[in-house]
Amino acid sequence: MIVLEVPLKTTEKVKKTLIAKELIDHNYKPLKDNNFFYFPLKKAVKIPNTRLIDKKLEPFQKKETSLKERLKYYLTKEELKLLKTSYDIIGSIAVIEIPPELEPKETIIAEELLKLNPSLKTVVKKKNIHHGTFRTQQTGHLAGKKNKTSIYKENGIKLKVNLDKTYFSIRLGTERKRIAKQVKVGENILVMFSGVAPYPCILAKTTKANSIVGIEINPYAHKLGQENIKLNKITNVTLINDNVKKAVPRLKLIFDRILMPLPKTADEFLSTALQASKQGTIIHFYDFLNENKFKEACAKIKDTCKKANLNCKILKTVKCGQHAPKVYRICVDFKIVNRNPTPPVTASL
């Protein structure tokens, strides 16, 4: 095979040249001895103070190294410092973040990731943050099969997810399990902003809840949610495609437990959630806050309850993900301890 022999003192300079011209053969490990560094090449190239030789190099083994260890041969030291080695795996799709400085190398990074993980079929990158009414995020294809839909498995259920058309976070898996452990036998549960129905499916499969209602404004997410209900053979979940503020009053139902997994603007829907509560209802309110301002979420809750002539008790505040440096996704579990006037008799679908 074609190998470039480079004196150690000029290795970094030559490496930058080879990377820029995409000449390194990624299937083999470069080699270093006391005097030289040996780069496997795709084709012959002339570089001053180096020489081409015929040398056998060891091929990469898929499971023997991490992504960063593999890429150290193809990225400069400065580029390696920018590399984000954590990524999300949703079924057969890996979702990675590529800093602007590494965009010229994004294909190499994605291809190496595919080689390291045989179960992956597609690698995409995040193109923007979650935005808009539907909380969607655009992704760009980098390597492998061009596909944005996958089946994700969590806590014994299967979820069909589309990366670009729906909101879904694998990082809330632990939080979904935490909520499920609190559910008592016979509860009637409302999941606001239910998306592709991860919460309804988890709660239906892992608890003895009586009924679960999910409300989602995104029609495509609602469609996948319905598919997920059938996929998991669930019978006690009803999904509604509508605006929460319109759907809850029309339901004319009250619930034992209400989930509000919309961190950025959940406070705008808190009064709507209270309309569907009764004495003893537990509400899970989510927010994004600086680590020094968690009490602000409790203040929002108490203020809204007061305006609704309700008393509440804060049960627990938990971190359930980091949004940015020192900014966390939190969940405040609180309970309605009394209300006046008395609500109607509990109903279920």
| Helix/strand/coil (H/E/C) assignment for every residue in the chain | CEEEEEEHHHHHHHHHHHHHCCCECCCECCEECCCEEEEEECCCCCCCCCEEEECCCCECCCCCCCHHHHHCCCCCHHHHHHCCCCCEEECCEEEECCCHHHHHHHHHHHHHHHHHCCCCCEEEEECCCCECCCCECCEEEEEECCCCEEEEEECCEEEEEECCCCCCCHHHHHHHHHHHHHCCCCCEEEEECCCCCHHHHHHHHHCCCCEEEEEECCHHHHHHHHHHHHHCCCCCEEEEECCHHHHHHHHCCCCCEEEECCCCCHHHHHHHHHHCCCCCCEEEEEEEEECCCCHHHHHHHHHHHHHCCEEEEEEEEEEEEEEECCEEEEEEEEEEEEECCCCCCCCCC
Please tell me whether residues 130 and 260 are part of one structural domain: no
Structural domain boundaries, residue 210? 168-339
Q: Report the number of distinct structural domains present in the chain.
A: 3
Please tell me whether residues 225 and 286 are part of one structural domain: yes
Please tell me whether residues 55 and 84 are part of one structural domain: no
Task: Assess if residue 295 is contained within a domain.
Answer: yes
Q: Which domain CATH number covers 280?
A: 3.40.50.150
Please tell me whether residues 329 and 182 are part of one structural domain: yes
Instruction: For residue range 244-285, list pLDDT tens digits in order.
Output: 999 999 999 999 999 999 867 788 999 999 999 999 999 999
Please tell me whether residues 186 and 37 are part of one structural domain: no
Render each residue's pLDDT in the chain as its tens digit; 349 residues: 899 999 999 998 998 899 888 898 888 889 999 999 999 999 999 999 999 999 999 887 655 578 888 888 788 889 999 999 889 999 999 999 999 999 999 998 999 999 888 899 999 999 987 777 788 899 999 999 999 999 999 999 999 999 999 999 999 999 999 999 999 999 999 999 999 999 999 999 999 999 999 999 999 999 999 999 999 999 999 999 999 999 999 999 999 999 999 867 788 999 999 999 999 999 999 999 998 889 999 999 999 999 999 999 999 999 998 878 889 999 999 999 986 555 444 545 5
Task: Assess if residue 315 is contained within a domain.
Answer: yes
Please tell me whether residues 277 and 186 are part of one structural domain: yes
Please tell me whether residues 224 and 260 are part of one structural domain: yes
Please tell me whether residues 127 and 202 are part of one structural domain: no
Q: What is the pLDDT of residue 343?
A: 47
Task: Assess if residue 245 is contained within a domain.
Answer: yes
Q: Which domain CATH number covers 108?
A: 3.30.300.110
Please tell me whether residues 174 and 309 are part of one structural domain: yes
Please tell me whether residues 29 and 85 are part of one structural domain: no
Task: Assess if residue 70 is contained within a domain.
Answer: no
Task: Assess if residue 66 is contained within a domain.
Answer: no
Please tell me whether residues 244 and 324 are part of one structural domain: yes
Task: Assess if residue 113 is contained within a domain.
Answer: yes
